[in-house]
Amino acid sequence: MRLDSSALSTLNIFPVDKTRDSTSRFPRCFAFTRSLFGLLNHTLTAGMGERLLRRWLCQPLISIDRINTRLDLVELFLHDVSLRNELRTGCLKGLVDIEKLAQRLERRVRFRLQDLYVLSQGVSKLNRILNTMENSEHASNPTLQSVFIDPIRDLIQSFEPFRELCDHVIDPDALAMTPPEFLVRPTYDATLESVAQRKNQLFAEITAVFDSVREQYSTMDVKCERNARFGFCFRVSSRFHNEVESIPDVSVLQVLKNGIYFTLDGSTFPLGRFVMYSDFRGLSSDFEECRAEYAKAQERLVASIIDVARTYVPRFHVFASLAAQLDVLLSFAEASSIASIPYTRPQFLPSTPIVGFGIAGPIDIRIEEGRHAILEVQTGLQFIPNDLDLTPRNNIPQNVCIITGPNMGGKSTYMRQLGLIVMMAQIGCFVPAKTAVFPAFSALYTRVGASDNQSRGVSTFMSEMIDMSNILSGCSEDKGKSLILIDELGRGTSTYDGLGLSWGILEFILRKIPNCFCLFTTHFYELTAIAKQFPAVKNVHVTALNGENYITMMYGVREGPSDKSFGINVAQLCNFPKEVIRVVDGTRIEA
């Protein structure tokens, strides 16, 4: 689907800042601000699912077959709660960012042995994902098989040599250390093996000295630690400061709140019937030199290992794509499952040809009890659902809907509601409605709001005209079905010019672009008369109860045009001075 930046901002597709929304019923969804992205983002992978969700929202599908494939999987995951939970929390949660690691591996940018290990751990998740799917009751589902099971099975087989390489290269003993170290196995190379033997011998001597010191000074509860600054050293509680100073050949390295760090220089001290001779500082220094020699020796080997691993980059990209798709589809199912009113699966109408207008056919839109996906989850709001029925009458399509009614009555919400439902449906998500049937739109255009653009030297009216010119030219070139949402066009000029332009634009759409569907909200009540000239126009209005001194918005949508303007009533709600209201009433009567 073709989208512009105006559509993305008008429909609140993405958050506008990073302020956490405390009024939402779903704080995890609304981690930034009220937005469709926030509502649907229940992804658990480390960035992959979230990035794919952004791409899908920017590029909704127009192929009904591809949309239905996604919807089939969302429906499967929605109804099978145990499968959904196991895939989300047992398989995808904590999965590293395979996509970014693969990019770093391909470019050899700061890629280390540790990253190779992380990739191997990620690959091991494939087996769990496959086993979870194959052990479910949907293992024979053809869509699940073709989209996930078969590709994952092929990936596991192709990654087998990579896993064997990692198992053969990475030293498990070093991983078991605290903190873990990422080293090449000593047996992988003769030089490494020789250095490792010396290192192990030094470590054994260090351990023997530590055991001796710990036994000799058992009252101080001596600990042996490896410090990045000092190497191996001893640590005791700071209350034993005097006792430490009395140890022969002691060197105090550091005194901190958590203890005293010290070492021994060529120490000689009695141990029962024996005398222990040791240069503990020298042993530590030799050990650190040995570690450095080992690291330098394995550097060359790691470079060649990474060269081999780089041959698997295309497969890692496939892995990342599958994991992200699974994450987003599960996220759609999760969002649908936690909705206060269940979402429903949208139905898409196939295109039928119109002579002279390519593939686009008569527009048939039926939405029963549709809701605004973002507004309905806000705390303290009880959203009023509404229907939209634009089925052809006497084989004449109804492709323009004019919405009239008072300010704050819900006209813009009703219009945006359709845009969100279409967007959600065409990315493969269930929608907030009891029933939703419409064609797959190839483009979505919006013209909402009245504001200038001072940086470009463009006035409010000029900005409206530029946007509408782009929309009309884009729809004229589009051979598919377009959806146009226009909110109160012509506010930036005189009433007569605004009404005339609105009428002309609607007439152009009706005559020249029959393959589009347009929702048009307006306060120009004279515009509703265009339905007498064009049977493809349908008038609806938002309802309100109007008393002598009050107005109550009902937020319902009914057929037919509105017969009254409620501007003064809305002004009264805002506590305007009574003198102003009297002047307005008098002026209106005189007119």
User: Per the structure block, which two tokens stand in for 135?
Assistant: 């052990």
Hey, which CATH number is domain 2-159+312-337, 1.10.3720.10, 3.40.50.280, 1.10.1420.10, 3.90.260.10? 1.10.1420.10
Q: Could you check whether 2-159+312-337 and 347-590 share the same CATH topology?
A: no
Whole-number pLDDT of residue 566: 65
Domain ranges in the chain?
2-159+312-337, 186-297, 347-590
Predicted pLDDT of residue 251: 87
Cα–Cα distance for residue pair 503/161, rounded to 1 Å: 68
Distance CA 430, CA 427 (A): 9
- How many angstroms separate the CA atoms of 332 and 330, rounded? 5
Instruction: Give exposure, 358-379, as e/b (b: 16+ Cβ within 10 Å).
Output: eebbbbbbbbeebbbbbbbbee
Show the 3-state SS of 489-553.
Answer: CCCCCCHHHHHHHHHHHHHHHHHHCCCEEEEEECCCHHHHHHHHHCCCEEEEEEEEEECCCCEEE
Residue in the structure block whose two tokens are 């109160």: 488
Q: Could you state, in chain order, the average pLDDT of each consecutive group of 10 residues for the chain (591 residues)?
A: 88 74 44 78 94 96 96 98 96 94 93 94 95 95 97 97 94 86 91 92 89 86 87 90 84 88 70 51 90 90 94 97 98 95 93 47 82 86 90 85 88 94 98 95 86 63 85 80 89 83 93 90 91 94 76 83 69 67 58 46
What's the pLDDT score for residue 177?
A: 81
DSSP state of 339: -
pTM value is 0.85
Query: What 3-state DSSP class applies to 452?
Result: coil
In the block, residue with structure tokens 């899908």: 56
Angle at 535 between CA 532 and CA 536, to 5 degrees: 130
Q: Which two tokens stand for residue 112?
A: 């280390």
Q: Give me the CATH code for the 347-590 domain, please.
A: 3.40.50.300
Element (H, E) at 400: strand 400-404
Q: Are 315 and 158 in contact (CB under 8 A)?
A: yes
Largest CA-CA distance found in the chain, in angstroms, rounded = 119
User: Which DSSP letter does residue 59 get?
Assistant: S
**pLDDT of amino acid 548:** 64
Q: Which helix (H) or strand (E) holds 349?
A: strand 347-349
- Under CATH, which architecture does the 186-297 domain have? Orthogonal Bundle (1.10)
Instruction: Report the pLDDT value the prediction gives residue 463, as an integer from 0 to 100.
Output: 81
